[in-house]
């Protein structure tokens, strides 16, 4: 799942025309944080994922591309 989250953060950031630095400012973080997310070196915590979903105007499920598996 980490890889898909990384890809989605980069994709949606670019869709909004934001640099890594600009997105980092919206999260009150550093550019290196966004770079680490996008390269899969780290994964945002749930609070940050919620903030990212809000910035990108997505649901959390859409951001992480979570689909419930049938049991």
Q: Say which CATH number the domain at 41 has.
A: 1.10.260.40
Establish if 70 belongs to a structural domain. Answer: no
DSSP 34-63: HHHHHTTSS---HHHHHHHHHHHT--HHHH
Query: What pLDDT is stored for residue 39 in this prediction?
Result: 93
Establish if 71 belongs to a structural domain. Answer: no
Establish if 26 belongs to a structural domain. Answer: yes
Establish if 24 belongs to a structural domain. Answer: yes
Query: What pLDDT is stored for residue 69 in this prediction?
Result: 64
Rounded CA separation 22/16 (Å): 10
Rounded CA separation 30/42 (Å): 14
Query: What pLDDT is stored for residue 2 in this prediction?
Result: 45
């Amino acid at each position: 799942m980490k890889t898909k989250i990384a890809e989605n953060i980069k994709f949606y950031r670019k869709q909004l025309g934001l640099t890594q630095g600009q997105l980092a400012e919206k999260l009150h973080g550093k550019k290196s944080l966004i770079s680490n997310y996008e390269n899969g070196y780290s994964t945002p915590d749930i609070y940050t994922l919620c903030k990212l979903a809000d910035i990108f105007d997505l649901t959390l499920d859409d951001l992480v591309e979570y689909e419930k598996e049938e049991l």
